Amino acid sequence: MAAVYKSVSKQPNGKAKTDDNEPKPKNRQRVLILTSRGVTYRHRHLLNDLHSLLPHSRKDAKLDTKTQLHQLNELADLYNCNNVLFFEARKGKDLYIWLSKPPNGPTVKLHCQNIHTMEELNFPGNCLKGSRPVLSFDASFEKQAHTRVIKELLTHTFGVPPTSRKTKPFVDHVMGFTLADGKVWIRCYQIQETEATSKGETQVSLQEIGPRLVLTPIVMLEGSFGGPVIYENKEFVSPNQIRSDLRKAKAGRYNRRTEATVERKAKKRDMGLRTGEGTREVDELDERVLFA
């Protein structure tokens, strides 16, 4: 079926052309997907879900290093990929996603949170494996320069070209990208068609198939996994800092209770109310004076 679709879409001379009889530019996008060491099972399931939704992707083994990320450019060139989707795990709980266009860039680093895989919530929707998605972007992506760059990187990464080898000539799901509260919210829906009336009219609806995730932009680099910083999110607070502040808050409450206990004991000692500690002053109303 895919071969017939390609042959019909081409002109008799074998080259695809537009309506103006000009050569149609080819969309050659391939994505290299891989993770670092230390990913959890939820991160691994998310990677498998994205790999199944992107037929133009190539999944590779884990990368041994977290500091020399420029090696990903060589891997992308080795597998003939011009997009890299790298999952970096920290401390077995934090996940960072790198989107890059090797070899010249740019690169954006995002913090991934609120992950829900396909099997986790038992999404009722389903789509054909290898089909192409419809990318739906919020209008807020066009308001700032760095959001336009993020939109372009997401388009190249999740936009499946029609000439990919494993792509089927069907469009049956939608990937939605929404920009809210400084974060990118990603949702995936199946396009369902049901007969509404007896006249043969169909009703189109959307059914979520997963996965879900929220991405917070952190930093944007001019090159591929290197180069000068062209954007930095000043409002981003790392998960390590949040956990550190929570521990300090708990430690502060404990320290205040400990200091209050020490002060209470010292006050009782000064007043002579503790046995064997301090001297109690003898006044006129003391029993030892009244009944002497």
Per-residue pLDDT of the chain (292 residues; tens, 9 = 90+): 344 445 545 544 445 555 566 666 677 888 999 998 889 999 999 999 999 889 888 888 888 887 788 888 888 889 888 899 999 998 888 999 999 998 888 999 999 999 888 888 778 778 888 888 899 999 999 999 999 999 999 999 998 888 888 888 888 889 999 999 889 999 999 888 887 766 667 888 888 888 999 999 999 999 988 889 999 999 888 888 888 888 888 877 777 888 888 888 888 777 767 766 666 666 777 777 777 6
State residue 33's pLDDT score: 92
**Residue 266 sits in which domain range?**
237-275
Q: Do 105 and 162 reside in the same domain of the chain?
A: yes
User: 192 and 110 in one domain?
Assistant: yes
Same domain? For 44 and 136 the reply is: yes
Asked if residue 66 and residue 206 are part of one domain, the reply reads yes
Asked if omega into 23 is within 30° of 0 (cis), the reply is no
pLDDT at 239: 85
DSSP character at residue 201: -
**Residue 17: what pLDDT?**
59
**What is the gyration radius of the CA atoms in the chain, in angstroms?**
31
Considering the domain architecture, whether residues 60 and 186 belong to the same structural domain is answered as yes
Pair 147, 258 in one domain: no
What does each C-alpha distance from 253 to 9, 173, 259 come to in angstroms?
70, 51, 10
Cα–Cα dist 262/50, whole Å: 57
Same domain, 172 and 268: no
Asked whether residue 89 falls in the same domain as residue 211, the answer is yes
Question: What tokens appear for 171 in the block?
Answer: 């469009």
Chain centroid to CA 282: how far?
72
Domain co-membership, 173 together with 264: no
Please tell me the distance from the alpha carbon of residue 227 to that of residue 242, in angstroms, as a whole number.
Answer: 28
**In the numeric block, which tokens belong to residue 246?**
């929570």
How many C-alpha atoms does 71 have within 13 Å on its Cβ side? Answer: 10
Q: Is residue 139 part of a domain?
A: yes
Residue 120: left (phi > 0), alpha (psi -120 to 50), or beta? Answer: alpha
- Give the Cα separation of 288 and 108 in Å (integer): 82
What pTM, to 2 d.p., does this model score?
Answer: 0.76
d(CA 188, CA 126): 10
In a domain, 11, yes or no: no
Could you tell me if 209 and 80 lie in one domain? Answer: yes
* Residue 10: inside a domain: no
Q: 209, 236, 263 — which closes off a domain?
A: 236
First vs last C-alpha separation in the chain: 115
- Which pLDDT belongs to residue 2? 46
Looking at the 3D structure of the chain, how many domains does it have?
Answer: 2
Cα gap 286→6, rounded to integer Å: 108
